[in-house]
Structure 1
Amino acid sequence: MQDSPPSLAMDGYASNVPAFLTKLWTLVEDPDTNHLICWSINGTSFHVFDQGRFAKEVLPKYFKHNNMASFVRQLNMYGFRKVVNIEQGGLVKPERDDTEFQHLYFLQGHEHLLEHIKRKVGWW
C-alpha cells in the first residue's frame, strides 16, 4: 500500500502528514466546534462530546462520511488511544457523552509533531 503524495502545508512546504491527521488537527483547533470536539485542559488529548451530534454535524464537513465508528477506527489505525478515567476504573459510564483520545505526538501547539504519527502497517 502506498501513502498519498505529500501535500502542501500552510507554510508552503511539502508535508508528509496524511490528510486524516491534518483534518483532525483542523477540527480540534476550530473554536466553532469546541462544544463537540476540543483539546483537553493540558493539551495532551482531545475530547469528543455528544458523539451523535459530532458525527452528524461535524464529520461530514471534514470527511466523506458521518460514521463515528469509522472515525474511531481511523484514530486507532494511527495509534490514538481512548483515555480511561482512573477514578471511574473504566467501569462506570460517565454522566455526559465525553470520549477522550490521546497520542504521544498529537499535542496542542505542536503541529510539527504530526509528521511522526504513522499509520499502523498490517493493523487488521
Structure 2
Amino acid sequence: MLHRKQETLSHLYNIEMQTSNTKKKFPFRAYDMVNSCDEKDPLIASWSKDGRYFIVKDKGTFEKKYLIEIKYASFVKQLNNYGFSNITSIIQTSGQGQREGEYFCHDNFRKSREDLLRNIVRKKTKDKNEELIHLSTGDGLVKRHEQDEDNERLREENKVLKEEVKLLTRHILLSRQINRPIPSEIADLRFLNNIVHRYIAYGDWSTHTADSSLKFYYPHYG
C-alpha cells in the first residue's frame, strides 16, 4: 500500500514537473486563452460543444484583448507550425457552424484534456539531410547525384565560355586599335599625299594647285 502511494506521488510529481517545463510553450498558452474566452468571453472565442475544436468568433477583439503582443495572423501561423488544422470551410459547408469566425482543431487539443498538450510538438523544418534521406528511397539518391554532376559540369562549361568571350572581345578591340590610326597620323598622311601630288603634277615642290585630273586616293578612317 505504501509502495503504491509512493508511485502515485512520484507520478504526480513527474506530471507537475513536465507541466512546469512546458507551460510556457505555445500550445499551453493557446489552451489557456481558449479556456479563458470560453468562460468569460464566449462571444470572442470558445470551445465547440463537444470540445474537439475551438472557434475564434471575433478576430479583432481576440487580438486586442488576448494576443496583445502579436497579431492574429501570427497566432494562426503558430497554430499551423504546431500542426493545427483550419477546418472553417468543412464546418461551414456542413452547416454546423456560424458564418463568421474561424475553426481550428488538433487531435491533442481538446477541452478539459490539458494532459494531451505535451504531445503537441512543433513541426520540424526539412533540411538537406532529410531531403537526402527522402531521395535515398529507390534510385532517388543516384538521380540526385547525377543531377549534381550535371550542374557542376554546366557551371564549368559556362566558366570556360565566359573566358573565351573575354579573350575574343579583347582581340577585337586590339585589332581595331591597330587598324585604325589616330587622328594626328591621318593628318600627316594627307599632308604628305598633298606634297607628292603637287610634285608629280608640276615636277617640283611648287605650291601651285594641282591639276584636277590628277587625284590621289586618301584613305578615310573612322
- State the TM bucket, normalised to the shorter chain: 0.7 to 0.9
- Calculate the aligned-residue CA RMSD, in Å: 2.5
1:68 aligns with 2:72: yes
C-alpha contact 1:48 1:99 (8 A) present in aligned 2: yes
1:112 aligns with 2:115: yes
With structure 2 as the length reference, what TM-score do the two structures score?
0.43
C-alpha contact 2:109 2:116 (8 A) present in aligned 1: yes
Give the counterpart letter for 1:23 in structure 2.
R
Determine which structure has the larger helix proportion and give its number: 2
Which 5+ residue runs of structure 1 have no aligned equivalent?
1-10
Cα deviation, residue 46, structure 1:
0.2
Can you list the C-alpha shifts for 1:79-119, whole angstroms capped at 9, x where unaligned? 00011235627xxxx632x1000001101111100010010
Give the counterpart letter for 2:46 in structure 1.
C
Which residue of the other structure, out of 46, 69, 74, is the alignment partner of 1:38?
46
SS at match of 1:52: helix
1:100 aligns with 2:107: no
**Does the C-alpha gap of structure 1 residues 52 and 114 become closer, same or farther in structure 2, counting only changes over 3 Å?**
same
C-alpha contact 2:54 2:105 (8 A) present in aligned 1: yes
Give the counterpart letter for 1:58 in structure 2.
Y
Which residue of the other structure, out of 70, 80, 84, is the alignment partner of 2:84?
80
CA distance in 1, matches of 2:104, 2:92: 17
Which 5+ residue runs of structure 2 have no aligned equivalent?
1-14, 127-222
**Does the C-alpha gap of structure 1 residues 87 and 74 become closer, same or farther in structure 2, counting only changes over 3 Å?**
closer
Can you list the C-alpha shifts for 1:8-37, whole angstroms capped at 9, x where unaligned? xxx742335352111111111111232211
SS at match of 2:102: strand
Moved over 6 A (4+): none
Report the structure number with the largest CA radius of gyration.
Answer: 2
Give the counterpart letter for 1:70 in structure 2.
S
CA distance in 2, matches of 1:86, 1:38: 15
Residue of structure 1 in register with 2:57 after alignment: 49
Residue of structure 2 in register with 1:27 after alignment: 33
CA distance in 1, matches of 2:92, 2:122: 31
C-alpha contact 1:79 1:103 (8 A) present in aligned 2: yes
CA distance in 1, matches of 2:99, 2:112: 30
CA distance in 1, matches of 2:53, 2:92: 18
